[in-house]
Amino acid sequence: MTCGKFVVSLDFELLWGVRDKRTIQSYGENLRGVHQAIPRLLSLFDKYQIKGTFATVGFLFFETKEELLANIPKTIPTYTNTELSPYQGHFNLLGENYIEDVYHFAPQLINEIKKYPEQEISTHTFSHYYCLENGQTKENFKADIEAALHIAEKNGIVITSLVFPRNQFNEVYINIIKELGLNSYRGNENSWLYKAKKGEQESSFRRALRLIDAYFNISGHNCYSDDFLRSKYPMDIPSSRFLRPYSKLLSALEGFRLKRILSGMTFAAKHNQIYHLLWHPHNFGVNQNENFSFLEKILEHYKHLNIKYGFKSITMSQLSTELNKKRHE
């Protein structure tokens, strides 16, 4: 029997995901907070029977700087803008191990996620790789993903799904991820507001409209049918909504932000479609009480939809496996 599905994916990256835009001094509190946020997320997901996909940067698996440096791919990204590459001097900022450096390493958090077998660990590439930036190549990308799969396998994890960093989806690379055994990836919402672009092509106008879209419906519910997802392999499981973190400045609009998400979930449940919610653990690194209270309202609504319509929680890889099985029946 067909039913609506609720996909949750989290881009788990720590400083690797923001190192060219933020510093430890400016963003350290958010990053330190991840070490409390992930255990809280796992507990809450367990309470509401949510199956999440934790898209994890490969660098986070390492326990020591020495181990990380010993596992650098032979081919590294050749970005024209060298500031985008962590291989161009950033390793000098690393502490010696995960105990003294909570901004670049997180093996203990990965082990926490592994304790919950209903949660998926997927890849957010090895180095937080930017697939649309000038200078990088298909060979660079393949080496990066191979490194990500290798370090996960060393930790007993078989990865079968991918989340593109900064949502820089690149059609040219789909055959590579297929060749490497991945069955799904997170694409972008079907709206010009969310079309993948290089960093230098992003505009303040689009950013402003996306902010408004988080509170008021500009781009639609961005839900997807099973048939739409089956049309591609590896399967494109596009995002529906980014769960923006609590903002004191915009706190008067919290009701609109919540309604925007709940109405999309309800639409998906009623029409047997997929609703895909995403965020970063570091978005919950500060204002944790406000952010977790807001998330719990979403999960309470999920339980209501689950009881009323059979709306079910599912990981990215599980969804791909399930729909592909039905395609071949």
**What residue type is 284 in one-letter code?**
F
List of residues 6+ apart from 125 with CB closer than 8 A: 57, 58, 144, 145, 148, 162, 164, 165
Residue 196 has what pLDDT?
Answer: 73
**Nearest Cα to Cα of residue 136 among 165, 104, 97:** 165
Query: What is the pLDDT tens value at each position of the chain, 329 positions in all?
Result: 689 999 999 999 999 999 999 999 999 999 999 999 999 999 999 999 999 999 999 999 999 999 999 999 999 999 999 999 999 999 999 999 999 999 999 999 999 999 999 999 999 999 999 999 999 999 999 999 999 999 999 999 999 999 999 999 999 999 999 999 999 999 999 888 888 777 677 788 888 999 999 999 999 999 999 999 998 899 999 999 999 999 999 999 999 999 999 999 999 999 999 999 999 999 999 999 999 999 999 999 999 999 999 999 999 999 999 998 766 55
Q: Which residue in 169, 173, 168, 163 sits closest to 139, CA to CA?
A: 173
The pLDDT value given to residue 317: 97
HEC-encoded secondary structure of the chain = CCCCEEEEEEEECHHHHCCCCCCHHHHHHHHHHHHHHHHHHHHHHHHHCCCEEEEECHHHHCCEHHHHHCCCCCCCCCCCCHHHCCCCCHHHHCCCECCCCCCCCCHHHHHHHHCCCCCEEEECCCCCCCCCCCCCCHHHHHHHHHHHHHHHHHCCCCCCEEECHHHCCCHHHHHHHHHCCCCEEECCCCCHHHCCCCHHHCCHHHHHHHHHHCCCCCCCCCCECHHHHHCCCCEECCCCEECCCCCHHHHHHHHHHHHHHHHHHHHHHHCCCEEEEEECHHHHCCCHHHHHHHHHHHHHHHHHHHHHHCCEECCHHHHHHHHHHHHCC
Q: Report the alpha-carbon distance of residue 133 to residue 140 in Å, rounded.
A: 12
Cα radius of gyration rounded to whole Å, the chain: 19
Q: What is the per-residue pLDDT for 167?
A: 92
Name residue 5's beta-bridge partners. 274, 312
Residue found under tokens 């986070």: 60
Q: Rounded distance, CA 309 to CA 285, Å?
A: 33
Where residue 24 sits, what CATH number does that domain have? 3.20.20.370
Q: How many domains does the chain have?
A: 1
272: closest CA among 323, 217, 310? 310
> Is the CB of residue 265 less than 8 Å from the CB of residue 302?
yes
Rounded CA-CA distance 37/14 in Å is: 12
- Residue 324 confidence (pLDDT): 84
Question: pLDDT tens digits for 255-304?
Answer: 999 999 999 999 999 999 999 999 999 999 999 999 999 999 999 999 99
Q: Which domain holds residue 301?
A: 5-327
Q: Are 193 and 214 in contact (CB under 8 A)?
A: no
Report the Cα–Cα distance between both ends of the chain, in Å, rounded. 14
